[in-house]
Structure 1
């Protein structure tokens, strides 16, 4: 591995920090607290839900410095390679609080204080987005930060005040210097830290990645670590060989063509959201509820597909759209329909040494109608009990083509062939035809029965979602059928 660097490099307080000797599965949180004594960053849930561990990574995006919040408890230390790492200790000066901190004090936005450092960091990232966020945008930014003492009203009010205008702080003042530093530490070859039996690798090109995958087909491929991080912190699984895709050039490319959208495997959910929302607003709402902002910042399109979750949120929607997956092994690239990638629970059509390269998503035609629904116990930051998406073609008030896919109903995201067949020829003005299609759900699925939902609940919800989708396509207003519409109306009333 002579072509690789033997350490990772990051920026902290304007200086370069290089780390060579570390266990591959070391989390950023553990390193910050134990090695750097940055104990302001807390460990709460250790699974990326509570946000007490939130730190901010600064990276160059399209020529500008962008600050993105991440859950340090499930972010691996190696994923900080090439980034600026900002913790709560870095914000205030000796004689003054950061504007975000000052606003929280002024509005009494903290009590026990355990969650406060993570809330501060989430609001620091929001303040650096620029512009004045709406109340809903503030709530979205805070959805991944739980507070059990204070209540959210004073926190939201502090956020509205602190983020009302672009923040003028030390980080904005030295943006040019920080960008120059990040370009310097990010240049050159990838990193390979460790030996043949245990390592953390961060290849910089697809050729380096393909060679590593062939040489170590048993290695764990990591992109955002929003899933693998839990293997480490919750399952305590030994993960000795890690190949991180976050530095691979061009895997994060978005190509928006006239008839299709191409998303590289390492495109994050946050970056994919505008492009997907342009295909249909339901995709934008689905992505808004895709975990927290910290999860959307780190998690990737390719990771959500390749982890093989039976729910996955994004795969059912992409399957309904007719997406195609591209994979690479060595020098060979192949494509297959996305629905063919999922074979059984946690089993995919992916050979040893092969990796997901990109997904190609067809756009909607003039007669196409699309709907996507995510049903959860909590509205925000929750895993689906049932995920449903459908794409139907309507001509002369009749359905002439249909693609319907579900997540959470089987061991894999799966098309509902009998539902699709029953929809063909159905009239938008005839509700009985929708119900026949809804009844066909029982022929397509014997649902999962687990702690998220019973099989009977999932069957009933899936049936209802088919009817809801067709009712909306026929003209029923979404404000009458969705919680989101109710929430927007309530916000407007305030």
Structure 2
């Protein structure tokens, strides 16, 4: 158990250090903004992190350099205690103090007629402001579209908003001063060296207080988890936030992983004794950091990175959290199954390694023991010089910020024309993400030919009996999965393989 005394949540907002107490730990940042701070510029649309109307920016001091760093998040699903030791910037904060001039990103939205009903506008403005802070010069329209993929507009359409994203750079550059914010953040963290322990108000039917623990070290986290095996582990709340908003679940005690320094690291493990090089990705590494690193080492993953949810969701959620959640339509598991990833599990001081393929038992069920948690995931790196070929395919109704109907991570090793190994992993085809063992068996040892492809497609239909739901019918999923296997063949066949631009309708992704 943590030895730290309970204290209020402390963070910086509108130039002041805020102290919050007597609110439930599952109070969202959006609820606090609108109901306690009376800052109503930030809007609630979907309350599940899809529409972007609630987009805000969270800033903090980089622990290594001390520099300011910031990211967009969805205020509607971020629990307020996760702001402890950080700064919150909203649409009300963009104008310079004492000035009646709009920020260039706001003025550009006016000039380009980027707003009609205006409900989505504050969220778009915050995403544009974040782009403005990260880029000295105007990004391409494709890059702007990626940055805005978590913001939905149903009136104006995106052309004038993208116009605004480029026009905001035509005005004189406006500098956002972070020195005062960093001074306040340093003061906050110096005065609270221990992890946060926050107690909410007593429940109405008992004297039990819901508690929020935010340890700062791996040892403290492991001890807490052993002492409180029934507590809810929280990383980015991009899924758990919906349990509260949509299902009205009571979470009880919460243990937050986001402040544990050891879990925020990505380590490169060199190849040794015939084993490939690996990336060890800690449990608190965000989806954005993880997928960017994976795509840097394996460019075939670039499209799945950009199509995985949206920037605010990727900035908050974690790769390990996506795996631990165990959703059969999560996009991480099929790709990492194809890469033969391994989980590092921790219980107290003891650790064990488990192949990701052995982690899932059934729908939303896994092999974690009481008091155990995922410390990291180790992902083999497929280099350009390797014999392996990797592809990641996602099928959804929308290109951006949508849940997959089918997701595939496909890997084969070739010795000349002969297939020596195959890992074909699928999401959306069963109660868990899993590999297609019969299709793999139909490939291994065979020449990579169209006849072999047809045998693998026939075997794939025996591997899965998918369900029909709102995203796709059973027959559609079976057909699409077979088509994706054929796409793999077309892209990697020994004679005249198709180029990415030949099979990709999105030029930016093909490039």
Q: TM-score, normalised by structure 2?
A: 0.91
Which residue of the partner structure matches residue 273 of structure 2? none
1:352 to 339, 347, 370: 370
Preserved CA contact (<8 Å) 1:128 1:167: no
Q: Choose which of 482, 492, 498 in structure 2 pairs with 1:473.
A: 492
Once the two structures are superposed, the pairs formed by residues 33-48 of structure 1 within 5 Å of their partners are 33-48=34-49
Q: Which of 233, 241, 247 in structure 2 is aligned with 1:221?
A: 233
> Which among 62, 71, 75 is matched to residue 72 of structure 1?
75
Structure 1 residue runs without a partner (length 5+): none
Which of 169, 179, 195 matches 1:190?
A: 195
Is the 8 Å Cα contact of residues 127 and 167 (structure 1) preserved in structure 2? Answer: no
Structure 2 unaligned runs (5+)? 201-207, 271-276
Cα distance in 2 for partners of 1:261, 1:488 equals 24
Give me the whole-angstrom Cα distance separating, in 2, the residues matched to 1:242 and 1:49: 24
Return the TM-score normalized by structure 1.
0.94
The CA deviation string for residues 397-419 of structure 1, in whole angstroms up to 9 with x for no partner, is 21111111101111111011111
In the TM superposition, 1:57-456 aligns within 5 A as 57-61=58-62, 62-63=64-65, 64-93=67-96, 94-132=99-137, 133-163=139-169, 167-169=173-175, 171=176, 173=177, 175-187=178-190, 188-194=193-199, 197-258=209-270, 259-364=277-382, 366-428=386-448, 430-456=449-475
How far residue 166 of structure 1 moved from its aligned partner, in angstroms, is 9.9
Using a 3 Å threshold, how does the CA distance of structure 1 residues 131 and 472 change in structure 2: closer, same or farther?
A: farther
The answer to whether the 8 A contact 2:413-2:419 is kept is yes
Q: Secondary structure at the match of 1:442?
A: helix
- Equivalents in 2 of 1:347, 1:401: separation in Å? 29
Q: How far off is 1:215 after superposition? A: 2.2
Q: 1:343, 1:23 → 2: CA distance? A: 34
Deviating 4+ runs (over 6 angstroms): none
- Aligned partners of 1:426, 1:166: CA distance in 2, in Å? 63
How has the CA–CA distance of structure 1 residues 164 and 228 changed in structure 2, closer, same or farther, with 3 Å as cutoff? farther
Following superposition, the deviation at residue 108 of structure 1 comes to: 1.3
Partner Cα separation in structure 1 for residue 43 and residue 296 of structure 2: 38
Shift of residue 92 of structure 1? 1.3
Report how far residue 423 of structure 1 moved. Answer: 0.9
1:458 matched to 2:477: yes
Q: How many residues align?
A: 485
Once the 2 structures are TM-superposed, how far is the Cα of residue 227 of structure 1 from its aligned partner? 0.3
Check whether the contact 2:408–2:426 (CA below 8 A) recurs between aligned residues. yes
Q: Which moved more, 1:268-277 or 1:335-344?
A: 268-277
The answer to whether the 8 A contact 1:202-1:244 is kept is: yes
| C-alpha deviation, 1:289, in angstroms | 0.5
